[in-house]
């Protein structure tokens, strides 16, 4: 039985990796940061990589290993990464499964829904008041286009030295950087919004596993306007539970295969 190649860096990815560990399934798990690698289970059944791979590097990884299946559990907003994984699997005739994050949240009329970060910044440029940004550090540069962004913006980002340095280089003050790993509950979000005196909350439509509802509920309770970056639409894939059930069925079938010697 060959390994399973898992592209993770999300709650779903960690959950599937933990399933591999518990069930002694050999897998190679790719994440994009050392911090993401540290969150994975320390297991003799799991090999890991903490480097963001481009399409050429993905192809080389597959050529140099024996994989039976590729699982894409990357973030819903990592559109280019998913496209690269899918293209490589198609080219190399390797089975590909996309993990879809649930979309069970009904759009609240009190939220401002936008298609991208530039639209969020355009809206905010016509407003006043502090902003709590909870979408990470990758798109933080977009908010530096706002007047007095270093005073208005508070960013919740991952607690790594690299991320902290990148944010400071963009001009954000250390006192406006909240380095912590989510997701968080409603009460914590509520306390944080009040602490920074936020008038606006920036969030992605990250679903239940990303603590999306807890952020929206906290913002509305605090009379803070949520600005939501809409999620790219995905129609083909399976839920995390369906993917695990598929792995279990496939693994059990191989484990129970009988060999007769004549």
**217 conformational bin, left if phi > 0, alpha if psi -120 to 50, beta if neither:** alpha
pLDDT in tens, the chain (262 residues): 578 999 998 889 999 999 999 999 999 999 988 888 988 999 999 999 999 999 999 999 999 999 989 999 998 888 899 999 999 999 999 999 999 887 656 566 688 999 899 999 999 999 999 999 999 888 899 999 999 999 999 999 988 898 999 999 999 999 999 999 878 899 999 999 999 999 999 998 877 767 888 999 999 999 999 999 988 777 688 988 899 998 888 776 555 455 556 5
CA-wise closest residue to 137 among 101, 174, 179, 84: 179
The Cα–Cα gap between 244 and 252 comes to 12
At residue 16's C-alpha, the angle toward residues 14 and 21, to 5°, is: 90
Residue 189 tokens read as 């979000």
The pLDDT value recorded for residue 240 is 87
The pLDDT value recorded for residue 13 is 93
The pLDDT value recorded for residue 122 is 95
Other Cβ atoms within 10 Å of 159 Cβ, number? 12
The Cα–Cα gap between 100 and 58 comes to 21
The pLDDT value recorded for residue 27 is 95
Q: What is the pLDDT of residues 165-216, one digit of tens each?
A: 999 999 999 999 999 987 889 999 999 999 999 999 999 887 776 788 899 9
The pLDDT value recorded for residue 97 is 94
């Amino acid at each position: 039985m060959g390994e399973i190649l898992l592209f993770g860096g999300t709650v779903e990815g960690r959950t599937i990796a933990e399933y591999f560990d518990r069930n002694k399934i050999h897998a190679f798990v790719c994440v994009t940061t050392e911090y993401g690698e540290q969150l994975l289970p320390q297991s003799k059944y799991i090999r890991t990589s903490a480097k963001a791979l481009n399409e050429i590097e993905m192809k080389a990884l597959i050529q140099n290993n024996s994989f039976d299946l590729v699982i894409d559990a990357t973030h819903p907003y990592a559109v280019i990464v998913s496209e690269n994984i899918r293209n490589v699997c198609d080219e190399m005739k390797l089975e590909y499964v996309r993990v879809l994050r649930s979309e069970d949240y009904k759009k609240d009329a009190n939220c401002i829904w936008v298609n991208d970060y530039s639209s969020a910044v355009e809206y905010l440029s016509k407003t006043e008041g502090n902003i709590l940004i909870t979408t990470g550090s990758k798109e933080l540069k977009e908010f530096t286009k706002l007047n007095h962004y270093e005073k208005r913006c508070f960013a919740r980002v991952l607690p790594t030295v690299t991320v902290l340095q990148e944010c400071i280089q963009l001009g954000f003050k250390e006192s406006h950087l909240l380095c912590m790993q989510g997701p968080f509950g409603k009460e914590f979000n509520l306390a944080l919004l009040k602490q920074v005196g936020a008038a606006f909350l920036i969030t992605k439509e990250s679903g239940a596993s990303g603590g999306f509802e807890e952020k929206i509920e906290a913002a509305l309770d605090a009379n803070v306007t949520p600005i939501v970056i809409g999620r790219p639409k995905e129609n083909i894939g399976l839920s995390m539970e369906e993917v695990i059930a598929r792995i279990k069925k496939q693994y059990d079938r191989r484990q129970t295969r009988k060999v007769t010697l004549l």
